């Protein structure tokens, strides 16, 4: 497939950045992942708004305008004839002349790379069966609202999940679920309230989270933003996760204990349908 690297479209296997790139040396960079459905970007304005916020929080300047970034994303989709999948985008503080912690002093341009991958999110088997999650301690830094490429804690969490045959790891802090390794965590209470943790520095403000909450509220469903425990999730009617790369996926077990009778529940199923409809109707 074709990748984009700092102004050029090149085969992914030839796409390279310097060993001095600060993304490589310090994880000094930000990323975004947008879904592609029927060749169109899903909720992309929301992802690029979060990108602008993330880069602002680490004082990193985008090398292109958001308008130009959108054009590059679209050109990459076209060049790869991508119908369904993901566009990955990463911007780092570029390559300085050596390995110095403070920002480059000279006029070093931020590095921008993008590539795509195929994924049939709508027809994923795991959306029908539901997924198992395991819980792990949340060992990340204190600015999880920034979509930083420093993902070692999530690499370890998701590896532990993979080894346990689970589809996601839910991270725990002070007895409460923060979020999934690469997703937002939700439960549905016995009286049908959709619960997800409030946005703060403790979690990434999910774009899918935001869209699903708005779509639910439009349909007069009750949504509550607050932290919840694993015990509460196990006693809940349903649990599910959201992310750009999976939309809405039911959670049917936590640490080997069934949730919602071990089957995808009606609320997660309905929210998934509503989100897919939204994604199809609003793609650009």
Neighbours of 262 (CB within 10 A): 11
Stretch 134-153: interaction string toward ligand PLP, x if CB under 6 A = --------------------
Given 208, 252, 259, 265, the residue binding ligand PLP (CB under 6 A): 208
Distance CA 136, CA 132 (A): 13
Q: 230, 190, 225: which is closest to 210 by C-alpha?
A: 225
Q: Give how many residues touch ligand PLP by CB under 6 A.
A: 13
CB of 101 to ligand PLP, least distance (A): 25
Nearest-angstrom CA–CA distance, 126 and 250: 8
Known catalytic residue at 105: no
We find the least distance from the C-beta atom of residue 190 to ligand PLP, in angstroms, to be: 25
184 forms part of the interface with ligand PLP (CB under 6 A): yes
Binding mask 93-132 vs ligand PLP (x if CB under 6 A, - otherwise)?
----------------------------------------
Q: What is the DSSP string of 9-69?
A: EEEGGG----TTBHHHHH--EEEEEEEEETTEESSHHHHHHHHHHHHHHTT---SS-HHHH
The CB-of-116 to ligand PLP minimum distance in angstroms stands at 16
| Helix/strand number for the chain, H first, E second | 8, 15
Cβ–Cβ under 8 Å, residues 180 and 239: no
**Would you say 15 or 213 has its CB closer to ligand PLP?**
213
Show the site string, 242-271: x = touches ligand PLP by CB under 6 A, - = not. xxx---------------------------
Give the DSSP letter of residue 148.
B
Token pair in block for residue 150: 């420093």
Region from 105-113, 127-135, 221-229, 236-244 binding ligand PLP, contact rule CB under 6 A: 236-244
Q: Which of 70, 182, 196, 249 touches ligand PLP (CB under 6 A)?
A: 182
Torsion angles phi and psi, residue 11, rounded to 5: -60, 140
Q: Which stretch binds ligand PLP (CB under 6 A): 84-92, 128-136, 157-165, 203-211?
A: 203-211
Residue with Cβ nearer ligand PLP (92 or 208): 208
Candidate segments 22-30, 89-97, 206-214, 252-260, binder of ligand PLP by CB under 6 A:
206-214
Residues forming beta bridges with residue 183, ordered by sequence position: 180
| Distance (Å) of CA 113 to CA 8, 20, 54, 274 | 9, 15, 16, 32
Catalytic residue among 81, 147, 158, 237: 147
Closer CB to ligand PLP, 49 or 83, in the complex? 49
Cα angle value 146/151/152 (rounded, 5°): 145
Q: Which residues bind ligand PLP (CB under 6 A)?
A: 33, 179, 182-184, 204, 206-209, 242-244
Residues assigned a catalytic role: 147
């Amino acid at each position: 497939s074709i990748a984009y690297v700092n102004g050029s479209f090149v085969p992914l296997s030839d796409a390279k950045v310097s060993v001095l790139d600060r993304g490589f040396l310090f994880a000094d960079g930000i990323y975004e992942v947008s879904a592609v459905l029927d060749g169109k970007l899903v909720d992309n304005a929301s992802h690029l708004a979060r990108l602008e916020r993330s880069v602002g929080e680490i004082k990193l300047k985008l090398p292109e305008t958001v308008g130009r970034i959108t054009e590059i994303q679209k050109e990459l989709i076209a060049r790869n004839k991508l119908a369904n999948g993901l566009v990955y985008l990463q911007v780092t503080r570029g390559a300085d002349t050596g390995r110095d912690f403070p920002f480059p002093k000279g006029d070093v341009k931020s590095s921008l790379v993008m590539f795509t991958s195929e994924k049939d999110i709508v027809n994923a088997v795991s959306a029908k069966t539901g997924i198992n999650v395991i819980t792990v301690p949340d060992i990340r830094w204190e600015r999880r609202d920034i979509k930083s490429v420093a993902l070692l804690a999530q690499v370890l969490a998701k590896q532990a999940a993979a080894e346990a045959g689970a589809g996601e790891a839910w991270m725990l802090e002070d007895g409460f679920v923060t979020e999934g390794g690469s997703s937002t965590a939700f439960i549905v209470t016995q009286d049908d309230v959709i619960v997800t943790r409030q946005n703060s520095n403790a979690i990434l403000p999910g774009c899918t989270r935001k869209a699903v909450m708005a779509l639910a509220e439009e349909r007069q469903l009750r949504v509550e933003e607050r932290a919840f425990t694993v015990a509460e999730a196990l006693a809940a009617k349903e649990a599910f996760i959201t992310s750009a790369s999976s939309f809405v996926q039911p959670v049917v077990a936590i640490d080997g204990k069934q949730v919602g009778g071990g089957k995808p529940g009606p609320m997660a199923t309905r929210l998934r349908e509503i989100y897919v409809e939204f994604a199809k109707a609003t793609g650009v």
